[in-house]
């Protein structure tokens, strides 16, 4: 691929998707040191791209408020056009992203064939649903030269202030025996039941481990409920940013979470991750992919998966995809990974 001087990456999806865009950016920059890479993102993911040493500038677009109307979007595009980009790479498949691409009038544009408006792009690339999302994103930049080695871990720079904040949070805690849990998710049918998480956490506490709960502001009530009924538990939900959470995970030995953004935060930290799948499946391409990690999923169901993103409630009202995945099965898989990759000394 002929690489231009200035590239815009359009990725206005959720934090997990943002993180899975980083390997593509890293490879693109490593192969072309002089290229400047800007990223168009949403406010909640701006810090992720700003923490990447490969990104020149992260530009936030508030599509739910400030830039929601057609008028404000057109004004935003006119401002963005002043940056005079040579190429646009668009992993995001929304209509809004396609409209921005058209509005910028850049000659060299590339996106996926299943984008809402594929004709917005001069070149379209096949979206392979069987591939991992990282590999799919790499296909946008002709990654075949990697000889199939697509498992590039996302890199995030952590400043000293963040390290100090996390260190103070964990003051007095034996980090050599620290397991992180992320029980929340944007989607209810991705959330493993709270009572099941409580049983798993209790088991690890009884085995001598310390526990830290991570999550956003929206996860505080759930995490507080878990903490209030258990000892040796730190609740960091709502206290840390995404990058700060990555630093917290770097200080943890293991992460257990749902099919949600924390899985990908764990990839940034490069620690063992066990992802629990309820209504979704690993085959969608968002599983933890470092060699230390794994997942558990109860798949012997005609109703699973019921959607790629999950739902606010189980469509059938049974939620058996979660209920049949009993805590003992999760504990067994977690203990296997701990024995193999734990490094608890």
E strands in the chain: 6-10, 36-41, 57-60, 87-90, 108-112, 123-125, 178-182, 210-213, 233-235, 254-258, 273-277, 294-297
Is residue 237 predicted with pLDDT exceeding 90? yes
Residue range 204-222: mean pLDDT, rounded = 95
pLDDT for position 3: 60
Q: Are 103 and 115 in contact (CB under 8 A)?
A: no
Ranking 104-113, 224-233, 289-298 by mean pLDDT, the lowest is 224-233
Is residue 167 predicted with pLDDT exceeding 90? yes
Is residue 133 predicted with pLDDT exceeding 90? yes
Closest residue by Cα to residue 192 from 298, 278, 319: 278
156: Cβ contacts below 8 Å, ≥ 6 apart: 22, 48, 51, 52, 243, 246, 268
Q: Are 308 and 280 in contact (CB under 8 A)?
A: yes
Ranking 144-148, 203-207, 307-311 by mean pLDDT, the lowest is 144-148
Residue 196 Cα distances to 272, 287, 322, 326, angstroms:
20, 21, 9, 7
Tell me 112's DSSP state: E
Distance in angstroms (rounded) separating the CA atoms of residues 52 and 47: 9
Distance in angstroms (rounded) separating the CA atoms of residues 181 and 208: 16
pLDDT for position 345: 47
Is the fold of 6-146 the same as that of 170-341? yes
pLDDT for position 308: 87
The CATH T-level fold of domain 6-146 is: Rossmann fold (3.40.50)
- Yes or no: is domain 170-341 CATH 3.40.50.2000? yes
pLDDT for position 225: 93
Q: What is the pLDDT confidence band of residue 341, given thresholds at 50, 70 and 90?
A: confident
Is residue 328 predicted with pLDDT exceeding 90? yes
| Residue 32, token pair as written in the block | 């072309």
DSSP character string of 9-45: EE--S-HHHHHTTHHHHHHHHHH-TT-EEEEEE-GGG
Residue range 9-29: mean pLDDT, rounded = 96
Residue range 79-89: mean pLDDT, rounded = 96
Q: Mean pLDDT score of the chain, rounded to an integer?
A: 93
Name the residue ranges covered by the structural domains of the chain.
6-146, 170-341
pLDDT for position 146: 55
Strand order in the sheet with 36-41: 57-60, 36-41, 6-10, 87-90, 108-112, 123-125
Distance in angstroms (rounded) separating the CA atoms of residues 133 and 157: 22
Strand-strand pairing, 233-235 and 210-213: parallel
Our CA dihedral for 264, 289, 159, 162, rounded to 10 degrees, sits at 50
pLDDT for position 32: 87
Q: Considering only residues 298 and 32, tell me which one the structure prediction assigns the higher pLDDT.
A: 298
**Start-to-end CA span in the chain (Å):** 46
Q: What is the pLDDT confidence band of residue 69, given thresholds at 50, 70 and 90?
A: confident
Q: What is the pLDDT confidence band of residue 343, given thresholds at 50, 70 and 90?
A: low
């Amino acid at each position: 691929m002929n690489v231009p001087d200035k590239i815009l990456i359009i990725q206005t999806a959720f934090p997990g998707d943002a993180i899975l865009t980083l390997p593509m950016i890293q490879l693109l920059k490593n192969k072309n040191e002089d290229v400047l890479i800007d990223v168009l993102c949403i406010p909640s993911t701006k810090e992720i791209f700003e923490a990447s040493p490969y990104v020149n500038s992260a530009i936030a677009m508030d599509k739910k408020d400030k830039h929601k109307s057609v008028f404000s979007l057109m004004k935003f595009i006119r401002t963005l056009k002043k940056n005079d980009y040579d190429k646009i790479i668009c992993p995001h498949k929304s209509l809004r992203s396609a409209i921005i691409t058209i509005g910028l009038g850049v000659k060299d544009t590339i996106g996926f064939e299943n984008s809402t408006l594929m004709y917005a792009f001069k070149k379209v690339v096949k979206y392979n649903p069987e591939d991992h999302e990282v590999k799919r994103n790499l296909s946008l930049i002709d990654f075949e030269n990697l000889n199939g080695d697509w498992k590039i871990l996302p890199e995030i720079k952590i400043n000293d202030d963040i390290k100090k904040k996390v260190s103070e949070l964990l003051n007095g805690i034996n980090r050599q025996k620290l397991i992180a849990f992320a029980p929340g998710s944007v989607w209810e049918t991705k959330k493993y039941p709270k009572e099941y998480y409580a049983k798993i956490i209790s088991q690890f506490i009884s085995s001598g481990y310390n526990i830290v709960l991570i999550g956003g502001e929206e996860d505080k009530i759930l995490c507080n409920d878990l903490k209030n009924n258990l000892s040796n538990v730190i609740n960091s939900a709502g206290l840390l940013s995404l990058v700060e959470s990555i630093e917290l995970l770097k200080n943890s030995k293991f992460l257990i979470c749902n099919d949600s953004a924390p899985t990908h935060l764990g990839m940034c930290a490069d620690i063992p991750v066990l992802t629990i799948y309820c209504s979704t499946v690993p085959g969608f391409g968002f599983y933890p992919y470092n060699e230390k990690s794994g997942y558990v999923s109860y798949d012997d169901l005609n109703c699973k998966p019921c959607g790629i993103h999950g739902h606010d409630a189980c469509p059938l009202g049974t939620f058996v995809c979660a209920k049949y995945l009993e805590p003992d099965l999760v504990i067994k898989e977690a203990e296997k990974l701990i024995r193999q990759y734990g490094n608890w000394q």
